Structure 1
Amino acid sequence: MGRLHRNRHALGLALPCASGIERYLKEKQENNVPILAPGEICSAAYRFGCLSADLAQTLNDKMMRASIA
């Protein structure tokens, strides 16, 4: 594998554990939190790609405006 260049490779995932205790309790109350039995397996698939810096900034700006609205 080639040498990684600084600030060129990244992967960010938003996981349920980042939602805070209030959201966790609300989701658990609504039966949206799976409880696994010993030995039971839960899996998830993630699809990701990369964006140019300009497109990433544009999408970030749109998300910030949407979260304020």
Structure 2
Amino acid sequence: MDTVSAAALAAGGSEADGAEDYSFMYSRSFFGLDGHGWQVIWMDPAAAEKGPEAFAASEQETGTPAA
């Protein structure tokens, strides 16, 4: 996400929001040269499969961080 966002900003885009880090998901947002908004997201595959709430609950049960 950081590489894609950095390339967009270097090409003249503008940042829409700062990075958002939820431990199981990370995203960056920017506007392209044409003004269209983009958001690139990474989500832990286990969280995507289980759903964020179930993933967080399972991580709390095992005592391991959700990232």
- Please, what TM-score do these two structures have when normalized by structure 1? 0.21
Query: Larger strand proportion, structure 1 or 2?
Result: 2
**Which of these two proteins has the greater Rg computed from alpha carbons?**
1
